Each structure stands twice: as structure tokens, then as C-alpha cells.
Structure 1
């Protein structure tokens, strides 16, 4: 028999006959849904079986979650089970996504780059090669990478960058006759994506095929400089 608001409001834990302590009461609502009544709370729970194992899932506290909403949640839970989905695992995935979203909001508020962004991977690569370069070389390369790679592509996830994005980047420098700069940036773009693959942050190098197709014409000394 379905629970009523009156019955829910009146429900209280019962004294244990052996020790006199208040004992949790479970009131069945039907279809595996019940209300767990303790001294301090009334909690909706759903009991279900998945792959032969009995499991329980919390559906919220009364009165924040009323009986109608609890039944709707229980119905959706049963639908998931019929589709071969374990509601408990889905709940864990949802919580994980929420935690990631909160972390992302805090990261943005602090002005930090996403760990999978082109900016983050490019800076990580720079730190990795820093020990093999002179300080002056490092400073110059970092300045160029920030200007020509991070500024236009930095906010993108490195695993979502397409060859067309890289092509546009290179074409802009080519149109400006910055062939020496283009050569250096093309080489470092390939290296950054190779580094991203090595550290498991992307699977493909969209810069490689574009880089191989570049002619790197001899720069006009009156029109080009490495910047």
C-alpha cells in the first residue's frame, strides 16, 4: 500500500524491546521503494537486484523529496535496470562529472589552463625540454610559442585540435612571409603534439601532415624576421 503524507508525518522509529534504544523503521511504498525512518531523518531508499545481487540506493530525504518525486525516481531507476544499466554505477558517474565540473569552475576562477588544453601541454613540454636548452634559447622559444601557438590555439583541448586548425595557424605566418618563424613554429607544434601523445593527453598529431607539406621557402631578408 502506497504511503500517504499523513502516514509519513506520523512515522517514528520504534523502541527496541531488548535495549530500549530507538530502532530504525522501514515503511514500504511498493515496487522496491521504502521510507527509512530514524530518530533524526526520513530517507527514501530503493531496493533492487542487478545481476543477481541485491542493492540499495538513496533517493533523497523527506520532505525535500516528497512521495511523488520519490516514486518518479524509483520508476526511472527501474527503467535503467531494464536497459541493463546499474543505477548505482550511474550515480557514481554523475557524482564524478559534478566534481569535475566544480574543479573546472575553480580552475577557471584561478585563471589556470585546463590540463588538456594546448596551453597546458605546450607549457609542460617547454618545462620538459628546458633542462636541455640554454636560458636564452628557452626564453626565445617560449615567447614565440606563446605568441604563435598558445595565443590562437591555447584554450582548445589538445585532443580536439584538427589539422585544419593547424593549417590556418601556419597559413597566417606564410601569408605574412614569416618563413623562418613558420619553420620553427611548425617544428615545435609537431613536438608539442608528440609530447601530448607520449603523456597520454592526445592520440593523434594533427600538425604532422601539415608540417610535412610545407615548402619552407627561403625568407626574404628584407621582409622576414624570426618573431
Structure 2
């Protein structure tokens, strides 16, 4: 769809045929025209929505458990396998499943430290 916004000619893709049918393409066109009428650039809005979705997807992928497992592999490489299993079992026993699935951005930096301090398996471990 070609349109003009703030004196500049722009083109907005409504989707590829046959993935997007005629009815849906017309609905997208109507939405874009409504945006233009209210002073919103449909192309910029489409990009903003895509970026926001990518950020949310990335935050979902960065759960505390995913970050912990990556850290775990790096920090415990020098430990014997039996020690790694014992310490990991200790960590799992004190961490809640809801905390493991939370976004790593939502957890304060002192929360894991407090949890480790209360776990007898981790006491005295400098890692």
C-alpha cells in the first residue's frame, strides 16, 4: 500500500499472497488508513510492534533458570561431577519453580545470594 506521511511517500507491505488472503489484506489496509487519519505512521507502528514482540520473546527466553544453567556450566567446570550433582541438587531444593521461570530481569541481584547462603551444600563454596 502506497501512502504519504509528513510529506514523504512510503510503502507498507500488507503480507504475501497466499499467506495473507484478500479479506485480511483489506482489513490491514483499513487499519493502516485509520492510523493515517489519526496521525500515526503505519510503517513505524508496524516496526515498533515487531521490536516490542522481539523484546518480549527475548525476555521470555532469559528466565532465571536459563541464565543460572549457563553460569553453572562456566563456574563449576573445575568441580568433580559428583560435586556438581550434589550442589545442583542443593540449589534445586531451595529454589522455587516459579522463580526459575521468572524473567532474569525481574530478579534482584541479592536474591540468589540469599538463597545460596541458606543452603548447606553451598556454604563455604567461593564460586
How far apart in 1 are the matches of 2:93 and 2:101? 13
Q: Is residue 91–residue 119 contact of structure 2 (8 Å, CA) maintained in 1?
A: no
1:49 matched to 2:4? The reply is yes
Distance 1:124 1:76, change over 3 A: same
Q: How do residues 123-162 of structure 1 correspond to structure 2 at under 5 angstroms?
A: 123-149=69-95, 151-161=97-107
Larger RCO, structure (CA 8 Å, separation 6 or more)? 2
TM-score between the two structures when normalised by the length of structure 2: 0.58
Q: How do residues 143-182 of structure 1 correspond to structure 2 at under 5 angstroms?
A: 143-149=89-95, 151-161=97-107, 166=111, 181=119
Distance 1:180 1:118, change over 3 A: closer
Q: Is residue 63–residue 102 contact of structure 2 (8 Å, CA) maintained in 1?
A: yes
What SS does the corresponding residue of 1:181 show, helix, strand or coil?
coil
What SS does the corresponding residue of 1:54 show, helix, strand or coil?
strand
CA RMSD of aligned residues (A): 4.2
TM-score between the two structures when normalised by the length of structure 1: 0.37
Query: Structure 2: 5+ residue runs without aligned partners?
Result: none
1:65 maps to which residue? Answer: 22
1:86 matched to 2:32? The reply is no
Q: Is residue 118–residue 157 contact of structure 1 (8 Å, CA) maintained in 2?
A: yes
Query: Structure 1: 5+ residue runs without aligned partners?
Result: 1-45, 105-113, 171-178, 192-227
- Greater gyration radius: 1
| Cα displacement (A) at 1:84 | 5.2
Q: Is residue 118–residue 150 contact of structure 1 (8 Å, CA) maintained in 2?
A: no
Aligned length: 115
